[in-house]
Structure 1
Amino acid sequence: MTAAVRDLLAWRKRDASSPPPYLKYRSSKSFIILTVCFASFTDIFLYGVVVPVIPFALLNRVGVPEENVQHWVSVLLAVYAAALIACPPIAGWLTDHYKSRRVPFILALFALAGATVMLCLGSSIAILVAGRFLQGVAGGVVVTVSLALLADTVGHEDIGQAVGWLTLSISVANLVSPLLGGVVYARAGYYAVYYMAIALIVVDIILRLLLIERKTARKWQSPDEEIQEPLPGSPHRSEAENSVPTTDPNSPATASSLSSKKKRFSTPPVFTLLSSYRLLSAIWCTFAIALLMTAWDAVLPLRVYKLFGWSSLGAGLIFLPLLLPSFAAPLVGKYSDSRGPRLPVFLCFLLGSPFVTLLLLVDHSGTRQVVLLCALLALAGFSFPMGITAVLVEFTYAVDAVEKRRGEGCFGEMGAYAQAYGLFTTAYAAGMLVGPLWAGLVETSAGWTTMCWSLGLLSAVSAVPAGLITGGLLWKRGRNKGQSGDAEALPDTATSHRADDIPEKEKPVVSPGL
């Protein structure tokens, strides 16, 4: 039995020509998406499950005086945010320069496990700070590599739906982790919380070790065995759409393509990416969405306590309207795949602005005020997760557009997806850091009303680049329609089979730039 398990996990040396067991299933799109989503769920869960526990650990295990507990809780949050901001660009660069996404994916999990053990057993401030920092580093790597692995696996035409499932898994983790952490700690004690976390890590380790990247699996597959399987919930494509015509390696077109893949630019890829107005717009949209989604963490619990007299349980449950609408993320991703990300990102800010601003009407107690608060939070909760799913699709398209403009292969064999997603993770983490600070400082100094309309104004201003730049410049739309067109508007397919290699009549109808 042990030998069989060792063989399954590929820990035993084998003939290079012999495929690993269950190769078809371990390299399937469905399994890779499941593993990536579970990895992101684990990352967020391990961050959130200890949030209700850390104050008691500081008080009872470390011996911090009660009046200093809030200070050290804030320090631990800041340390995590700093690691999450600084690490992803570096992780993206390293991932794009390594032959396999799987290796950093697995190493990040072991770092996450180490951080969890440090937080569990730590009896000093230094160990808790180091554990939280390591948790932030691991989290940045997990998100960056997960998104790059999704882009490698599902390709350009399905990236939106795959990102939607990823967004959903993160939302579920955000929803259940603090709740379970608090309940388990209250009912079963301190260590029970970490037993739950360790059990999740064990499952995650098994999934990540079983995973085989599709490009690795091709070594043991014949061309006839490479079938482009649809994503769960996607309509099956026709054979014409799935087939890729063979090309003559001696033809001028193929020689030109191979030559272009050898191009290298002295400029680091991350700076090349930052020269793209589409990517800069996507970075700003990511920062703004993260800020608008997390600003309420600092002010909403205290607001409902002052107005309605709610306990900590009620203050926690009030975030449900913000999180539950994110279950529609796969549908938004599917729309972005077929119609492009411009409209969802634009509507995210355009609709979110009045919903956020109208929260200033919640200024006294009463049942109607509770209903109004929940309704506005639900509408805002639908708008912003819708935007984050679509803006992730835009990151993928923007990288493809830059590569098309600079020449296919300009970013090297592994491309630059991980570096782009590293920028996404950094922008999102920066928004998470600024959001609560913005809301807390403005609400304290100028009041609830000013805080609401200032956030609404930010949303309205952000709608401008979202509408004009996302998917390519809006004023080039008519010029590019029906053409392979502007490289910034119509990127190549992100799969291993480039869109330019498919005959015009067989190309899938995907126009992310329009």
Structure 2
Amino acid sequence: MPSLESASMSTPGSSTPMVADHVGRRPFALEFRSSYWFTTFVVGLGIITDLIVYSIIIPVMPFRLEHLHYHHISSLTGWLIFAYSAGLVLSTIPIALLSERYNDRKTPLIIGLLCLIGFQVMLMEAPNYAVMAIARVLQGISSSVVWVVGLALLCDSTPVAIIGRQLGIAMAGLSIGLLIGPPVGGTLYERFGFRGPFVFGLAVTVVDLIGRLIVIERREALKYGHDPAAWTPAKDPELASEKTDPEPTSAKAEIKGDAQIPSTSASAVVVGETPPPRTLTLVEVIVELTKSPRALVSLFLALTYGLVYSSQEPSIPLHLAAVWGLDSGTVGLVFLAAVIPTLFSSPITGYLADRKGPEWVSFISLSLAIPWWIVVTIQGPLLLFIVAFAIQSFFTSAIVSPLMVELAAVSREVEGIGFAHVYGAFNLVYGIGTSVGPVVGGQVYDHLRRGWATLCYFATALIIISEILAFLWIGADPLYDRLVRWMAHTSSQSPPAPPTRTPTPEISTASNSSSA
């Protein structure tokens, strides 16, 4: 009979230590399947799958609608894209609450992917537009699972010191999915017809499902005395050099069990019974998040990113065609120039956020993005636009990883707030931004004489506001507080100014009389 393995661990985002007590066969390759590297791969693959399913229909759906004898194809296609975001927004809150209430990550991930397979088949075989729209809403609901539960799963299994790095690597899947989806969809449509892109999407989804079936979440690994969020120098030598948690206010995190301490044994002493973790209602979650300036600013920055990113989508092809006379194929190449840099921005800024703090990375990224939003309004050489557009995309998308790190820190700070709560809130505001953005962008471009420039100036204003808010409130030790302390320290270190004596006329006269 297998021996009893017990471990006293604690759950990230919870003040309740977990008592690991399990009798049974140890899962095959437990350490690998529950490791943060494998979890990062699974979550990143889920994001890639989500973006492929989202974007693969963009080049083929207009032709399908034409085949079904519909009119106003562009408008109908836009509403199908909107339907996906609407489903994502509507389902985010219940998914986040259920995941935290039942402390379960793997089950909703698997259910969500099985539903996504069914809804792709539904869209592929849809006989009319109404069924297509319903299928897209349901796809959006399935997709929200990976953004809420998947990111929470990754944070559960990752040591605090490298959450930014792992989130940045996983978030690169967003750019990879957008890079693969539209061109593959168009190619497969030309070669195999309307069902070709959907078969590809289904194949990618099945691979994603295999990964989700294999992965072991942290709460299950703890039952066998293994904590994937703990670390040893042998496990990741880079972590051995980490002296402190990048969050200066980690005292609270230690209480909640998120401070990662070296573990030299797979088992530990069992502790006594503790009360269950506090479970918050939806209203309580909202109240707690609104009490945190860090959470509110992070969510505003996420909304801004969603707005400025998506507002360009309907207007860039028209702008390129009007100014430089580009056709659809060349416009696609320009989009590639914008997407490819974002493959690197998320991992780089996630890595830097772990070491320098999200406050520095977010503020600098926003500052460096601002000039390029102005440059892309210049109707000069096409090469200038492409370079400026690529650099603007790099620095604007660089804000995502620091925001993920910041929201993870908020979860560790506030009792009862879990990773699914904060990433559900992120998903909600980002989804709102990406839903409203294309509508705003299309209306502004169509109805204003300098529509493209107006959009860019609007984005610049939002980014400047975000930069100011990041300076004031992002991070456990915001840059504004540091500046105030530095100024106070500089003032106290400066030598006192010599006293100045300016005698009044009366004193001066008296003094002269006395001398005489």
TM-score range, shorter chain: 0.7 to 0.9
Distance change in 2, residues 1:231/1:195 (3 Å): farther
Cα deviation 1:279-304 (Å, max 9, x = unaligned)? 11001000111222222111111111
Could you say if the C-alpha distance between residues 352 and 226 of structure 1 is closer, same or farther in structure 2, counting changes exceeding 3 Å?
closer
1: distance between equivalents of 2:115 and 2:306? 25
Q: Are positions 1:352 and 2:369 aligned together?
A: yes
Corresponding residue SS for 1:318? helix
Q: Give the match for residue 37 of structure 1.
A: 44
Following TM superposition, by how much is the alpha carbon of 1:16 offset from its aligned partner in structure 2, in angstroms?
Answer: 5.1
Paired residue for 1:21? 28
In structure 2, the partner of 1:395 is: 407
**What is the CA-CA distance between 1:31 and the residue it aligns to?**
1.2
Q: 176, 198, 201: which one pairs with 2:202?
A: 198
Q: Which residue of 2 aligns with 1:64?
A: 69
Q: Cα–Cα, structure 1 residues 218 and 449, in superposed 2: closer, same or farther, change >3 Å?
A: closer
Give the direction of change, closer, same or farther, for the CA distance of 1:379–1:164 in structure 2 (3 Å limit): same
- How high is the TM-score relative to the length of structure 1? 0.80
**Equivalent of residue 435 in structure 1, options 434, 437, 455:** 437
Partner of residue 397 from structure 2, selected from 364, 385, 394: 385
2:359 is matched with which residue?
342
- Aligned-residue offset at 1:155: 3.2
Deviation at 1:479, TM superposition (A): 9.2
1:109-124 aligned at under 5 Å gives the runs 109-124=113-128
Whether contact under 8 Å (1:358, 1:452) holds in the other structure is no
**Letter of the 1:194 counterpart:** F
How many pairs were matched up?
Answer: 442
| Residues 355-370 of structure 1 aligned to structure 2 (within 5 Å) | 355-362=372-379, 369-370=381-382
Corresponding residue of 2:262: 243
Cα displacement string for residues 51-90 of structure 1 (whole angstroms, at most 9, x for unaligned residues):
2121122222xx233x332232122122112112221122
Aligned to 2:9: none
Q: Deviations over 1:163-203 (max 9, x none)?
A: 11112111111111101000111122222212211211221
Q: Please, which runs of 5 or more residues in structure 2 have no aligned partner?
A: 1-21, 244-259, 487-516
Partner of 2:421: 419
- Determine if the alignment matches structure 1 residue 269 to structure 2 residue 274: no
Moved more, 175-184 or 48-57: 48-57
Aligned pairs (5 A) from 1:73-222: 73-221=77-225
Deviation at 1:442, TM superposition (A): 2.3
Q: How many angstroms apart in 1 are the aligned matches of 2:457 and 2:87?
A: 31
In structure 1, how many angstroms separate the alpha carbons of the residues matched to 2:226 and 2:43?
Answer: 26
Shift of 1:466: 1.4
Tell me if 1:308 matches 2:313. no
Q: Which of the two has higher C-alpha Rg? A: 2
Say if 1:262 and 1:315 are closer, same or farther in 2 by CA, change over 3 A: closer
Secondary structure (helix, strand or coil) at the match of 1:20 reads coil
Identity of aligned residues (%): 26
Tell me how far 1:478 sits from its aligned partner: 7.5
Structure 2 SS opposite 1:360: coil
Gaps of 5+ in 1: 1-14, 404-409, 482-514
- 1:480 and 1:338 mapped to 2: Cα distance? 21
Distance 1:154 1:466, change over 3 A: same
Structure 2 length as normaliser, TM-score?
Answer: 0.79
SS of aligned partner of 2:72:
helix
Q: Deviations over 1:250-273 (max 9, x none)?
A: 8xxx99xx56x6556676223312
Residues 1:460 and 1:30: Cα distance change in structure 2 (over 3 Å): same
Verify the 8 A CA contact 1:269 1:416 in the aligned structure 2.
Answer: no
Query: Which range moves more in the overlay, 205-214 or 263-272?
Result: 263-272
> Cα gap change, 1:284/1:197 in structure 2, threshold over 3 Å: closer, same or farther?
same
| One-letter amino acid of the structure 2 residue matched with residue 286 of structure 1 | A
Change (3 A) 1:222 1:308: closer
Distance change in 2, residues 1:247/1:116 (3 Å): closer
Q: Secondary structure at the match of 1:220?
A: coil
Q: Secondary structure at the match of 2:238?
A: coil
For residues 461 and 183 of structure 2, what CA distance do their matches in structure 1 show? 32
Amino acid in the other structure paired with 1:356: W
Which residue identity lines up with residue 388 of structure 1 in the other structure?
Answer: V
Find the residue that maps to 2:399 and give its secondary structure: helix
Contact 2:232 2:262 in 1 (8 A): no
> Over the residues paired in the alignment, what is the CA RMSD in angstroms?
2.8
Q: 1:279 to 1:299 in 2, by over 3 A?
A: same
Partner of 1:327: 343
